[in-house]
Amino acid sequence: MDLCNWWKEAVVYQIYPRSFQDSNGDGIGDIQGIISRLDYLKDLGIDIIWLSPVYQSPNIDGGYDISDYQAVSSDFGTMEDMERLLQQAHLRGLRVVMDLVVNHTSDQHAWFLESRSSKDNPKRDWYIWRDGFQDGEEPNGLRSVFSGSAWEKDEQTGQYYMHLFAREQPDLNWENAEVREAVYRMMRWWLDKGVDGFRMDVINMISKPPEALAASGGAGCECVNGPYVHTYLQEMNREVLKRYDIMTVGETPGVTVEQARQYGASDSSELSMIFQFELMDIDSGALGKWNLRRYALPELKRILSRWQTGLEGFAWNSLFWSNHDQPRAVSRFGDDSNDENRVLSAKMLATCLHMMQGTPYIYQGEELGMTNMPFSGLEDIRDIETVNAYNELVRQKHIYTHDEMMARIRKSGRDNARTPMQWNGAQNGGFTNGTPWIAVNPNTKTINAASQAGDPDSVFSYYKKLIRLRKQYPVIVYGSYTEPDPGDERVFAYTRRWGGSALYVRCNFTAETIDNIEVPRNAELLIGNYPEPVETMRPYEARVYYGESDEG
């Protein structure tokens, strides 16, 4: 199905089910809740829903620890609910892409329970077991993404198993062909049910580099893009993906442009596209994301432009400012210090991203300009990554005080994205009639869907318009990309060209007014976040002009 590229013209909306809409008052978002909001998504104009995991899970890592791939978590509903969601979405012309988490399972998955039961269990080799290095030491220095060693000693057999994330998330051994076949069988089962594709969790971590596997006492390594990852993905493609008309997007931290060209090769031998995280690392520092640094615009432009031109003709970009692992887009890349700037900068960011080449992803609530959360203490936090980092950096290593760490959590913690959707201004924002599993942002009084839906000047209405333009102007989807002034520290300007037409995009990333903005000749204003264009670029102003190409 090489020619089916509907996903290039589509807009994806990510749902984090636990925080989207509760339907039964238990404080947890669920599948019936999502069904009840499909008309909202249809109104917004998106084409594809990416559903974060709804599988059976002990929920140690927000459902990314799966104990049965072919069962729905009772927190979210039943398999019938899931089938109804697919049916109701399809009825509205919406597609549904599921999260596929197969680098690891939960430690409660039947496969792991068998694997850990004895050294000669037939599933022993389905996970990665090693003897310790010398006496009582981990096999090597490999670190977990969620702090501490990536090796956990299992008392039953005295061996260690690998977990690149929480110790409750043992890594599958992809070198074992039976593992791969079991995964492919499970994928076909969901696709036969009518699922329209997969977002593949940390898919470039499934093949481990030899240093990671050696019980050598060595330092370990960064476990991405291992030696067989393309072999496995090409096999998966032959065994599963190419038999269906679907979209796939790989989550691939630490990929270069060159590697991305292979993962997302336009000959469809692996995936439709990938998520790269270079932009998401733009404000990290010595201790990774736990710092207060703000990004610099020239760096942001350099990254985005390099991916725009680097993938063109080779692979397809996915465009996103945020997801369930990242802080809120407007708080991080825009300005949430007052409501006027919040609205302007949310629209500006949307313009900047949606006019680029690639498939845009909207993370739930971004279309309302939802912000980070004023967390005050650890009791407000639910995310295992954040709790582990707090324990390591505050309690064990004394690198930060409580207050310093809380400031960092308010800036970078994953729970910023996981507070419930703000549907209205009532208590709990219309998310639940019960007690929400994580607190609703108090600013739901002013930032919510109910007040924005009918307001032509709202962030929501602006997203609607951007999505509509994409359907009308092929240059937005297919145009080539050039950036006239990479050095400008305040304005991000770029041009898209397709056939004889061109799109001129101008985004002011600052709260300053900027003089002497050159307006393209013979071009009309397609969209902007201020009522009337003037000679200057006002704070966080965004404008898109459309006209004849200035090049032959």
- Sites of contact with ligand GLC (CB under 6 A): 61-62, 64, 101, 165, 201-202, 251, 324-325
**Cα–Cα dist 56/481, whole Å:** 43
* Partner in contact with 370, chosen from ligand GLC, Ca ion, none, beta carbon below 5 to 8 Å by kind: none
**Cα–Cα dist 23/25, whole Å:** 6
* Partner in contact with 30, chosen from Ca ion, ligand GLC, none, beta carbon below 5 to 8 Å by kind: Ca ion
**Cα–Cα dist 495/486, whole Å:** 12
Q: How far is CA 325 from CA 19, 61, 83, 399, 415, in A?
A: 13, 11, 27, 23, 8
* Partner in contact with 101, chosen from ligand GLC, Ca ion, none, beta carbon below 5 to 8 Å by kind: ligand GLC
Binding status of residue 211 toward Ca ion by CB under 5 A: no
* Contacting range for Ca ion; rule: CB under 5 A; set: 27-35, 341-349, 394-402, 469-477: 27-35
* Partner in contact with 165, chosen from Ca ion, ligand GLC, none, beta carbon below 5 to 8 Å by kind: ligand GLC
Annotated catalytic residue, options 171, 201, 385, 541: 201
Phi and psi at residue 60, in whole multiples of 5°? -75, -35
Q: What is the identity of the amino acid at 371? A: T
**Cα–Cα dist 196/97, whole Å:** 5
**What is the C-alpha radius of gyration for the chain, rounded to an integer number of angstroms?**
23
Q: Which of 5, 8, 9, 26 binds Ca ion (CB under 5 A)?
A: 26
**Cα–Cα dist 241/251, whole Å:** 16
Nearer to Ca ion, 22 or 61 (CB): 22
Q: Which residues pair with 491 in a beta bridge?
A: 508
* Contacting range for Ca ion; rule: CB under 5 A; set: 26-34, 58-66, 106-114, 285-293: 26-34
The position carrying tokens 């799966």 is 66
Nearer to ligand GLC, 96 or 203 (CB): 203
* Partner in contact with 200, chosen from ligand GLC, Ca ion, none, beta carbon below 5 to 8 Å by kind: none
The position carrying tokens 């692992």 is 325
Nearer to ligand GLC, 202 or 343 (CB): 202
* Residues that contact Ca ion, how many (by CB under 5 A): 5
Q: What is the β-pairing status of strands 359-363 and 491-498?
A: unpaired
Nearer to ligand GLC, 319 or 343 (CB): 319
Question: E-strand spans in 16-94?
Answer: 48-51, 55-56, 68-72
* Partner in contact with 24, chosen from Ca ion, ligand GLC, none, beta carbon below 5 to 8 Å by kind: Ca ion
- Is 270 among the residues known to form the active site? no
Nearer to Ca ion, 262 or 432 (CB): 432
Minimum distance of ligand GLC from residue 270's CB (angstroms): 19
Using CB under 5 A, which residues numbered 462 to 501 contact Ca ion? Answer: none
Minimum distance of ligand GLC from residue 201's CB (angstroms): 5
**Cα–Cα dist 347/159, whole Å:** 53
Query: What's the CA dihedral at 112, 113, 119, 123 to 10 degrees?
Result: -50
* Partner in contact with 64, chosen from Ca ion, ligand GLC, none, beta carbon below 5 to 8 Å by kind: ligand GLC
Minimum distance of ligand GLC from residue 101's CB (angstroms): 6
* Contacting range for Ca ion; rule: CB under 5 A; set: 1-9, 28-36, 242-250, 388-396: 28-36
Nearer to Ca ion, 81 or 196 (CB): 81
Nearer to ligand GLC, 249 or 459 (CB): 249
Binding status of residue 280 toward Ca ion by CB under 5 A: no
Minimum distance of Ca ion from residue 103's CB (angstroms): 28
Contacts of 518 (CB under 8 A, 6+ apart): none
Binding status of residue 30 toward Ca ion by CB under 5 A: yes
* Partner in contact with 283, chosen from ligand GLC, Ca ion, none, beta carbon below 5 to 8 Å by kind: none
Half-sphere exposure of 71 (CA within 13 A, CB side): 11
* Partner in contact with 201, chosen from Ca ion, ligand GLC, none, beta carbon below 5 to 8 Å by kind: ligand GLC
Q: Write down the H helix ranges in 424-526.
A: 449-453, 459-472, 474-478
361, containing H or E segment: strand 359-363
How many degrees, rounded to 5, is the angle at CA 205 between CA 5 and CA 207? 100
Nearest to 418 by CA among 76, 52, 37, 40: 52
Measured between its terminal Cα atoms, the distance across the chain in Å is 35
- Is 515 among the residues known to form the active site? no
Annotated catalytic residue, options 61, 251, 415, 483: 251
What are the respective helix, strand and coil percentages of the chain, to the nearest 5? 35, 15, 50
Minimum distance of ligand GLC from residue 50's CB (angstroms): 11
Q: How far is CA 39 from CA 88, 97, 439, in A?
A: 10, 18, 25
Nearer to ligand GLC, 101 or 503 (CB): 101
> Which single residue brings its beta carbon nearest to ligand GLC?
64
**Cα–Cα dist 153/139, whole Å:** 10
Binding status of residue 54 toward Ca ion by CB under 5 A: no
Binding status of residue 72 toward Ca ion by CB under 5 A: no
Binding status of residue 81 toward Ca ion by CB under 5 A: no
Minimum distance of ligand GLC from residue 256's CB (angstroms): 18
CB atoms near residue 445 (< 10 Å) = 14
Nearer to Ca ion, 26 or 380 (CB): 26
Nearest to 481 by CA among 273, 321, 307: 307
Q: Which of 24, 74, 396, 401 binds Ca ion (CB under 5 A)?
A: 24
Minimum distance of Ca ion from residue 545's CB (angstroms): 46
* Partner in contact with 282, chosen from Ca ion, ligand GLC, none, beta carbon below 5 to 8 Å by kind: none
Binding status of residue 28 toward Ca ion by CB under 5 A: yes
**Cα–Cα dist 307/310, whole Å:** 5
Nearest to 217 by CA among 146, 136, 145: 136
Nearer to ligand GLC, 138 or 325 (CB): 325
Minimum distance of Ca ion from residue 324's CB (angstroms): 18
354 within 8 A of 319, measured Cβ to Cβ:
yes
Residues that bind Ca ion (CB under 5 A): 22, 24, 26, 28, 30
Residues labelled catalytic: 201, 251
